[in-house]
Amino acid sequence: MQNIVVPTDFSFISYNALDFAKKIAKKTDGTIYLIHVMEPIVGRYSSIGEFREDDLDDVYNAKLTEKIGNELKALKQAHANRFYEIQTKVLIGDPFKEIKDFINFIDPDLVIMGAKGYTDAAEFFLGSLTDKVVRSISCPVISVKGKVEENEFKNIVYATDLEEENVHILNTLKELQSLFDSKLHIVKINTHKNFRNDIDTMVELRFLADKYQLKNFTLNCYSHEDEEYGVIYFADDRQADLIAMGIHEKSGFRRLISGGSLLDEVTDHTFRPILTHRFQSEKE
């Protein structure tokens, strides 16, 4: 995990993401790419709906870009450490597109972003920026809400449906285990609508552990009527510091019967960081 991208909007949640990135980069002598996307002003509409360009827009955009660049430099200086490097970049345009393009260009080992749940009608319909990024890049993403303390990260829960491709996310989890001396708890949530008997499930989980040569782990079946709360309650039981889940496209993203993705539901109802990795379908 040498290269880590951290988008920031200068909020306390994005600072939590940066702090988390520092913990990892410090252990790997890595590089943190701290980026901010500025949406430029391009013309205005008059009171009668007529679009008008304003020559002052370019001046305003240039000054704002300079201001944001200075704020990023100050943030870099405040978090500087000899064990890792921080590079800053101001991007201009649509936040989702610019972050996605930057990630695809850098091809980082990890992206860490502040997570914002659906707190109002606009976010409910449009989805959060973090959610859009998670669903569009083939790179592990950790969504952070609260501050991750230095002595945490000892227990990781990986919720698998035993149908997804596991190689990428398990390789990432093995790296995190190595860095933080973590214990990995692999769990299959059994629901009435998606039931497998425990014996068959444990055989498949054991095969998974053997295939990827896992160490310091537990294998678990956990029954709950709701998959979302099954993941959360199991994580509570294991005092997990991180929940990991895969996203994949076969006939679409994995969905709950009630609508929305399992990832969305878990993210909205837990304070823990969530690690996700999107698996590409053969058509992509």
Per residue in 238-273, pLDDT tens? 999 999 988 765 433 343 333 345 555 555 556 788
Question: pLDDT class for 17, splitting at 50, 70, 90?
Answer: very high
**What was the pLDDT predicted at 5?**
97
**CA–CA gap between residue 37 and residue 96 (Å, rounded):** 9
Q: Give, as one character, the DSSP assignment of residue 150.
A: T
Query: Closest Cα to residue 221, out of 210, 209, 208, 230?
Result: 230
Rounded Cα distance, 274 and 141, in Å: 8
Per-residue confidence band for 1, with pLDDT thresholds at 50, 70 and 90: confident
Does 222 score more than 50 pLDDT? yes
DSSP H helices in the chain = 12-28, 56-78, 95-106, 121-126, 129-134, 167-180, 198-211, 227-237, 262-268
DSSP state, residue 280: P
* Structure token digits, residue 261: 């993705």
Q: Which of 110, 116, 109, 212 is nearest to 160 (CA)?
A: 212
Residues 104-149: tens digit of each pLDDT: 999 999 999 987 644 444 343 334 788 788 888 888 999 888 777 7
List the CATH code of the domain at 3-134.
Answer: 3.40.50.620
Average pLDDT for residues 231-236, to the nearest whole number? 91
By the 8 A CB rule, do 150 and 167 touch?
no
3-134 and 149-279 in the same fold: yes
Domain 149-279 adopts which CATH fold? Rossmann fold (3.40.50)
For the ranges 36-50, 152-166, 220-234, which has the lowest average pLDDT?
36-50
Report the percent of the chain where pLDDT is more than 70.
77
- Most confident range (mean pLDDT) of 39-53, 121-135, 150-164, 252-266 is 150-164
Amino acid symbol at 192? H
What pLDDT is recorded for position 210?
Answer: 94
Domain spans of the chain?
3-134, 149-279
pLDDT over threshold 90, residue 183: yes
Mind listing the pLDDT tens digit for each residue in 184-220? 999 999 888 777 788 999 999 999 999 999 999 999 9
Cα distances from 84 to residues 18, 69, 174, 219, in angstroms, run 12, 20, 21, 35
pTM for the model stands at: 0.82
Please choose, from the candidates 259, 261, 232, 234, the residue with its C-alpha nearest in 3D space to the C-alpha of residue 248: 261
pLDDT tens profile 67-85: 999 999 999 999 999 999 9
